[in-house]
Amino acid sequence: MRSEIIVDLSKLDGNLKAIKSRLKLGVKVMAVIKDNAYGHGAVPVARHLCSQVDWFCVATLSEAIELRESGIEIPILVFEVPEKQDADKYLDYRITATIADISTFEILKAGTEYQLNFDTGMRRLGIPDEDFESAVNLYKKYEELRCTGLYTHFSSADEPDNESVTRQLDKFRSVAQHFPDELMKHTANTGAIFYYKDLDLQFDAVRPGVCLYGYLAGESESSDLTPIIEWKSYVMQTRAVKKGESVGYGETWKAPEDGTVGTIPIGYSDGVQRLIGGKIQVEVNGKLVDQVGRISMDYFGIYSPDHAFKTGDNVFIFNDEKLNPKNWAAVLGTIPYEVTTSLHQRIKRIYVKK
């Protein structure tokens, strides 16, 4: 086994608890497990969460079908715009479609459940302003379809006190008043749940994503969220290096002193971005050791001047506060979402409850 990702389901439960502690009474949880549950493995995460949440949300129809075929029975909302040739599948698999474009009304099959996504300022998916009125009319006209809800998505809820959140919320409220009250309404992603508790934006449900996996959206820290993964590999080979000898492609790094170099069988194709080369550490035998040289496709090097490891030793790439996707994201100038979704499917995921 070149490496494995260990997902701690007890920590996932802890994060869900932290989310629920911020919800008003009766607000449902629509757990966002798109993109393989942000890299953590959609089916095992769904199996674990399905008795504790009310809905799942995914990006694509094929993700929703995978969940249904794995025996997941709770409602599933797909965010993408349905394609005409797939319309039957929404009905056959009892999957809730999104209408984000008014042309979708005519392609869905009678009996299909859907929710309306209104673009209130994100300008990515969603019915734009100029079609709000048509959407109201089409909703009434297409009685054979079953509308169950209305939603919108915030562009900047990952920043506390961003006035666009209020602006989007006002717009959402004003369009929602043209629909019956009993339709469920939801707006809140991680940022909205954690930073905007005081704006009345939870409505009937929330859509937490990245916080389930232990990260806050944006820069802030949260004391009650914990990353749920460890990433473990081993030292595949070692060699002695002399002061001044280089390691890896391009000879970009040279040993400052005599020491040992270890080769870890993980590379950029596993999700260790090449740009992070030389900027991270790993843990071996309880010690932090520098990663050195360029990251190759399937390998990277580590170095110790005092023989801190030998061939076969376990190596932790992620395991704690210092070694986790949040820190990598900071080094790379990106967000934890990108780090965890980049973890390649080929890496074995193991699920434990500690």
Ligand X SMILES: *Cc1c(COP(=O)(O)O)cnc(C)c1O
Which stretch, 140-148, 159-167, 208-216, 297-305, contacts ligand X (CB under 6 A)?
208-216
Choose which of 40, 89, 207, 232 interacts with ligand X (CB under 6 A): 207
Choose which of 97, 147, 210, 247 interacts with ligand X (CB under 6 A): 210
Give me the residue whose beta carbon is nearest to ligand X. 209
Is residue 208 within the footprint of ligand X (CB under 6 A)? yes
Q: Could you say which residues in the range 153-192 bind ligand X, by CB under 6 A?
A: 153, 189-190
In terms of CB distance, is 189 or 233 closer to ligand X?
A: 189
User: In the numeric block, which tokens belong to residue 60?
Assistant: 């694509």
Nearest approach, Cβ of residue 160 and ligand X (Å) = 14
Nearest approach, Cβ of residue 25 and ligand X (Å) = 21
> What whole-number distance in Å separates Cα of residue 70 and Cα of residue 47?
9
In terms of CB distance, is 79 or 172 closer to ligand X?
A: 79
In terms of CB distance, is 165 or 280 closer to ligand X?
A: 165
**Rg (the chain; Cα; Å):** 23
Catalytic residue positions, numbered: 34, 249
- CB 37, CB 16: distance < 8 Å: no
Nearest approach, Cβ of residue 222 and ligand X (Å) = 13
Which stretch, 209-217, 250-258, 308-316, 326-334, contacts ligand X (CB under 6 A)?
209-217
Nearest approach, Cβ of residue 330 and ligand X (Å) = 17
187-206 footprint of ligand X as x/- string (CB under 6 A): --xx----------------
In terms of CB distance, is 112 or 189 closer to ligand X?
A: 189
Nearest approach, Cβ of residue 156 and ligand X (Å) = 11
Is residue 58 within the footprint of ligand X (CB under 6 A)? no
Is residue 79 within the footprint of ligand X (CB under 6 A)? yes
110-149 footprint of ligand X as x/- string (CB under 6 A): ----------------------------------------
Is residue 326 within the footprint of ligand X (CB under 6 A)? no
Residues that bind ligand X (CB under 6 A): 32, 34, 79, 153, 189-190, 207-210, 217
